Amino acid sequence: MNADSRKKAFNLIILFGLVSLFGDIIYEGARSVNGPYLKTLGANAALVGLIAGLGEFLGYGIRFISGYFSDKTRAYWVFTFFGYAMLCSVPLMALAGVWQLAALFIVMERLGKAVRSPARDTIVSQAVKQVGTGFGFALIEVLDQVGAVVGPLIFSGLLFLSQVKLKTVNDYQFGYSFYWLPFFLLLICVYVAYRKVPNPAELEGLPAAPKPDKLSKVFWTYNLFTFLSTAGYVNFILMGYHFKAKGLLTDPQIPFFYAIAMAVDAVAALIIGKTYDVFKEKKKNELAGLYVLIFIPVASIFIPFLAFSLNYGMIVVSVILWGAVMGAHETIMRSAIADITPLKKRGTGYGIFNVSYGVAVFIGTALFGLLYDHSIFAASLCAAGFQAAAIAVFFILKSQAIKEAFHHA
């Protein structure tokens, strides 16, 4: 490991941090207003739920395929470029005068994430080996969350500056067109990163000898748990739709609330991630971190009742809680996979997890959107039912983890 490759790796991490920052400004900014924008274009809650669910499903499901092909072809930069270029769908939303076209762009944005994520993660994972895995990922995550807060705030500010009280399609389109600027900056950063390190594999040392193994019982129970708790986790697009449809928040307030959720997400991710590590260390057991997972369904069960209420205070609490749970999804839900899968099966483990996560988001969002149009109570009860089932599965998972740890001891 020499100083030159360490410097190269550090530069690459900083550049990918900036790419994440610009990327999050674009797509988190868009996600904060896609619900109200679709409403302005005349879509109902069922359609909004279906569009968001389909986008998320493809966003996670396709990762399995794009990961396989990026590994097979080793064309990691090509997949990264192409995936990031698909982010042009966000500023293109400014040209969508009908909800069908807007829906196509929403799905396209998620597809782009699916195309680039496995390839980008591979490039980054090779670079972080030089500077320390925890530090490297934390650096990118911090810049990522800065973008996730700034993006919605830009939209909130632009909508606030517009003098008309009732926002029209034009106000939203003006906001979307602003994202051309971070889009081009992002492409420049990706290009510079490629020019600096065209072959990132050189940054990683010799790989460890592979150990043959298979996926455990805990892995499958864990997937059932994440499936249920993700299916019962209300998507922000529906929350935004509800806030606008019931006149609970003004148009500029909706992306501002999303920015608050993203800030809470960043803080919660750090706390929950640290707690996960502390549990593992305290119990001297790799699987002990799984106990922290109970936080997800226990907190998520309140979100639909609070978010779909007509009370301002309850909405504020729901947004904070939503951000905290999202922080848990992004940290412990993903890092747990590394602890419960053998190295040789890790790629497959992440692939199965992503597909199941995508299907869960699709089913949950489409179902709540459909139920919301008929009865808000039924939609909330359905989400709570998923979380209650997840709690039951958690206790099965816990007993299996204890058994497995005992077996290995």
Partner 1 sequence: MKKFVWVFVWFVGIALLAVITYSQDVQIKESGSQEASLK
Give residues in contact with partner 1 (CB under 8 A).
298, 301-302, 304-306, 308-310, 375-377, 380-381, 384
Identity of the residue, 164 or 381, whose beta carbon is nearer to partner 1 in the bound complex:
381
For partner 1, the closer CB: 121 or 373: 373
Contact criterion met (CB below 8 Å) for 160 and 252: yes
Write down the least CB distance from residue 384 to partner 1, Å: 7
Nearer to partner 1, 375 or 399 (CB): 375
Residue placing its CB nearer to partner 1 in the complex, 190 or 376:
376
Nearer of residues 352 and 390 to partner 1, judged by Cβ: 390
Distance CA(284)–CA(288), nearest Å, equals 8
CB-side exposure of 256: number of CA atoms within 13 Å? 12
Burial of 104 per CB tally in 10 Å (0-12, 13-18, 19+): middle
Q: What's the closest the beta carbon of residue 242 comes to partner 1, in angstroms?
A: 11
338 or 381: whose CB is closer to partner 1? 381
Q: Is the CB of 104 or the CB of 402 nearer to partner 1?
A: 402
Phi-psi map region of 205: left, alpha, beta (phi>0 left; psi -120 to 50 alpha): beta
Residue 385 Cβ, how far from partner 1 at the closest point, in Å?
11
Minimum CB separation of residue 263 from partner 1 in Å reads: 25
HSE of 16 in the Cβ direction (CA atoms, 13 Å)?
31
Residues 6+ apart with CB under 8 A from 381: none
Q: Taking the complex as a whole, how short is the minimal distance between the CB of residue 366 and partner 1, in angstroms? A: 20
- Share in percent of the chain as helix, strand, coil (round to 5): 85, 0, 15
Residues 179 and 199: their CA atoms lie apart, in Å, by 30
Distance from C-alpha of 402 to C-alpha of 363, rounded to nearest angstrom? 31
For the bound state, the minimum distance from the C-beta of residue 365 to partner 1, rounded and expressed in Å, comes to 19
Closest separation in Å from C-beta 305 to partner 1: 4
CA dist list (Å): 353 to 296, 299, 335: 16, 22, 11
User: Residue 113's closest CA among 394, 368, 358, 307?
Assistant: 358
Measured from the CB atom, the residue of 46 and 181 that comes closer to partner 1 is 46
**For residues 125 and 346, what is the distance between their CA atoms, to the nearest angstrom?**
14
Give me the least distance between CB of 308 and partner 1, in Å please. Answer: 7
